[in-house]
């Protein structure tokens, strides 16, 4: 299997002051969005915990498990996969030491599609801007989605503002993220996702911008109506 560019982050993945600090800092805000959209989608079931337990959830491109651990602690029935074997190794070790029930796998969505495995909720945060063909990625996600499903994606818009905020300021000036982590040409406009999925009869559920506010030595992320840089959206079938 091809080596993931993210293998080199594995030793520092869980250092919330390290190269992944922005992912750590945004987790709480993304988790609130996920919980809200899950509750909204499956409102006939009793509680968030009951939904998370009943529905099959995939964390696609889970890295070292920041989101998967948060969901597993809420009782989720979760599978998490990533193309980086080093990150999955670290994630598995952490899950075992905390007795968390997370089914970690090395690989991408193609592997799950090949095995005809389907999920009710597919979440892929900050991954699509790293894949080579975003349309194939979206199609494969859709092939692995059960009826009455929910897809949640977070990524970065492609425009001058996102170049300034995520590459010039975050990578080159403030060095919050290692240089070269992002490739602006791979960024995706929200309507490229929504219009692509509409052709496959999925519809937009909700879309919000995410914006980092400096907070001590770290950041707090707030929701914004502007999706000009980081954003998160949900689609339903
Ligand atoms: C920026 S990290 C995000 C990690 C995690 N989703 C989070 O937000 O905490 C991107 C992750 O996507 C993984 N990745 C890149 N391309 C992938 C693909 N085609 N399938 C699955 N994972 C992929 C990388 O190995 C890396 O762990």
Could you give the number of structural domains in the chain? Answer: 1
pTM of the model: 0.96
From the alpha carbon of 7, which atom of ligand 1 is closest? 25
Q: Identify whether the C-beta of residue 147 lies closer than 8 Å to the C-beta of residue 176.
A: no
Q: Identify whether the C-beta of residue 117 lies closer than 8 Å to the C-beta of residue 108.
A: no
Q: Ligand 1: which of 34, 63, 125, 138 to mutate, most ligand atoms within 8 Å of CB?
A: 63
CA 177 to chain centre: 17
Higher pLDDT, 181 or 223: 223
Which residue, by CA, sits nearest to atom 16 of ligand 1?
A: 131
pLDDT tens per residue, range 127-157: 999 999 999 999 999 999 999 999 999 999 9
Which two structure tokens, joined as six digits, stand for 208? 């919000």
- Tell me what the pLDDT averaged over the chain comes to: 94
pLDDT tens per residue, range 59-97: 999 999 999 999 999 999 999 999 999 999 999 999 999
Which CATH number does the domain housing residue 138 bear? 3.40.50.150
Confidence of residue 176 (pLDDT cuts 50, 70, 90): confident
pLDDT tens per residue, range 16-52: 999 999 999 999 999 999 999 999 999 877 799 999 9
Domain of 154, in residue numbers: 5-236
Confidence of residue 208 (pLDDT cuts 50, 70, 90): very high
Cα(74) to ligand 1 centroid in Å equals: 22
**Cβ of residue 153 lying under 6 Å from some atom of ligand 1:** no
From the alpha carbon of 4, which atom of ligand 1 is closest? 25
Q: Give the DSSP H/E element, type plus range, for residue 90.
A: helix 85-97
- d(CA 105, CA 2) in angstroms, rounded, equals 15
**Cβ of residue 128 lying under 6 Å from some atom of ligand 1:** no
pLDDT tens per residue, range 107-130: 999 999 999 999 999 999 999 999
């Amino acid at each position: 299997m091809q080596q993931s560019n993210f293998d080199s982050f594995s030793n520092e993945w869980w250092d919330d002051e390290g190269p992944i600090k922005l992912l750590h800092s945004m987790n709480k805000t993304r988790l609130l969005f996920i919980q809200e959209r899950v509750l909204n989608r499956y409102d006939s079931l009793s509680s968030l915990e009951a939904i998370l337990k009943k529905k099959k959830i995939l964390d696609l491109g889970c890295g070292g498990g920041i989101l998967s651990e948060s969901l597993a602690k809420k009782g989720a029935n979760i599978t998490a996969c990533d193309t980086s074997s080093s990150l999955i190794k670290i994630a598995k070790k952490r899950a075992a030491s905390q007795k968390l029930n997370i089914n970690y796998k090395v690989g991408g969505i193609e592997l799950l599609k090949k095995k005809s495995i389907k999920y009710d909720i597919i979440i892929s945060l900050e991954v699509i801007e790293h894949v080579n063909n975003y349309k194939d990625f979206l199609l494969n996600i859709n092939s692995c989605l059960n009826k009455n499903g929910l897809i949640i994606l977070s990524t970065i818009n492609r425009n001058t503002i996102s170049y300034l905020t995520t590459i010039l300021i975050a990578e080159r000036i403030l060095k919050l993220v290692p240089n070269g982590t992002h490739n602006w040409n791979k960024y995706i406009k929200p309507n490229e996702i929504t219009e692509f999925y509409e052709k496959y009869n999925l519809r937009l559920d909700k879309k919000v911008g995410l914006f980092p506010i400096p907070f001590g030595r770290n950041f707090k992320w707030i929701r914004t109506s502007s999706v000009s840089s980081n954003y998160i959206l949900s689609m339903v079938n």
